[in-house]
Chain A
Amino acid sequence: MLYQQIAQNKRRTIYVMVGFVLLVMVIGMAIGYVFFNSVIMGVVMAIIIGGIYMVMMISQSTSVVMSMNHAQEITDESQAPELWHIVEDMALVAQVPMPRVFIIRDPSPNAFATGNDPEHAAVAATTGILERLNREELEGVMGHEMTHVRNYDIRLQTISLALAAAISVLVNIGMHSFWWGGGRRDRDNEGGGYLQIIMMILSVLVIILGPVAATIAQMALSRNREYLADAGSVELTRNPQGMISALQKISTAQPMKAADASSVALYISDPLKNKHSFSHLFDTHPPMEKRIERLEQM
């Protein structure tokens, strides 16, 4: 079942990539049309910006994500023996290489994993989680992160993070050129006809809804993975109770001070503790009660 899961994830990564690339192109076209009066220029811009972000994230994802979240790498087990040893244990049973280990100075308990593949993975934990959780609970959390690594969730997240960032940069460029007068002038287009008006409205809609669509896709991908990683963690530690009490402790704590907004989906639990929208459409994580409920059934 697990191998199917990994294969499915690798396949889904391709779908997500294709979908995202198309979305970036369409948004580029719309921006080009509305703000620069040239669809081609928009597409070229989208390809360049999207390309830069992809290359940057795939080659540098760990350093970029870690510095966005103010994480510091530990390179020796004596700096945090318990965390280091637990990560070693989990890498051993998950049969993946030992990832790089980072610590975030924040009293809120949380953790995440990132990277491009199991050979280039990294895990991060806050000082809060190290203080509050006992060894078994921490094993549950690190087992969860190691499952993300083994299932290639980290690659999927990295790529969607890069493309979501590219989309927001594109929209920003469009907006700026609009405000600073570089944008479309109406004088030579007077009486352009209905088609032009419809195109205009459609383009504006794409520009407004594009980033939203990207976010929703990212969130939906993330929610599903959390359940899988919880289950995977129990498979590694054989200790559902550790994971349950870890989640309980994490859910009752205060939000993080300086979590990067675009990496929210990476964390084991929503670090900003956003008020849940009643549609759950924008939630990066399933409700904690449901996660605990599923663990209790195991």
Chain B
Amino acid sequence: MLTTIIVIVVIVLIIAIYAGIYNGLVTARTHTQESWSQIDVQLKRRNDLIPNLVSTVKGYTKYEAGTLEKVVALRNQMTQIPAGDHQQMMEVSDQLTSSLKSIFALSENYPDLKASQEYTKLMEELTNTENKIAYSRQLFNSTAANLNIKIQSFPSNIVAKVHHFVQVDYLEVPETEKAAPKVSFDD
């Protein structure tokens, strides 16, 4: 009698612990997916802003067509990347960030452009989007670390193996951004 009770209690305990670990893993995985979608939203937003930027800048500058074309080309390339390919998407995104920077640097030569209200507004919008990309990337990496630790450490690694949880790759921060963590188009 007593042994049956003990056996039942132990089994119930094991099931409870197992369920707890499993739920923890699911939560961690959902967090990484959520934080990736944060990045995705910002990337899409930037893609929407770029045509506006190009048309605004075009009105003021005649000879910089090359820089603008590059931005447009990268933007179009970005929309072609399959949704699951995080690494490639971030790679193109970084290139886009640096060519946008060169557009902003270029505006220094055109006082009229800099003074235009539309351009100031666009610049704040783009700065905001760039910073949000950087911050949501940071968030993604910390949620990924959280999931990866769970997948590797005992005893959650057993549950992870049974239910095929896979580790998530970190998003590498490009060298240029390591020196200056965020983009700042003002001053």
Contact = CB atoms under 8 A, between A and B. Distances in A.
A134 B181 contact: no
Contacts of A134: 184, 186-187
A89 B108 CA distance: 27
Given A89-B135, A92-B132, A134-B186, A239 B127 contact: no
A139 B135 CA distance: 11
Interface residues of A, number: 16
B38 interface: yes
Contacts of B38: 92
A95 interface: yes
Nearest to A84: B128
A239 B131 CA distance: 13
Interface string A264-282: 0000000000000000000
B136 A139 contact: no
A93 B138 contact: yes
B182 interface: yes
Contact of B184 (A88, A89, A95, A135): A135
A237 B138 CA distance: 9
A81 B182 CA distance: 18
A89 B138 CA distance: 11
A106 interface: no
A92 B182 contact: no
B128 A81 contact: yes
Contacts of A135: 127, 131, 184, 186-187
A238 interface: yes
B168 interface: no
B139 interface: yes
A86 B135 CA distance: 11
B139 A136 contact: no
Given A89-B135, A92-B136, A92-B139, A239 B182 contact: yes
A246 to B, nearest CB: 13
Interface of A: 81-82, 85-86, 88-89, 92-93, 95, 134-136, 139, 237-239
Interface of B: 38, 121, 124-125, 127-128, 131-132, 135-136, 138-139, 181-182, 184, 186-187
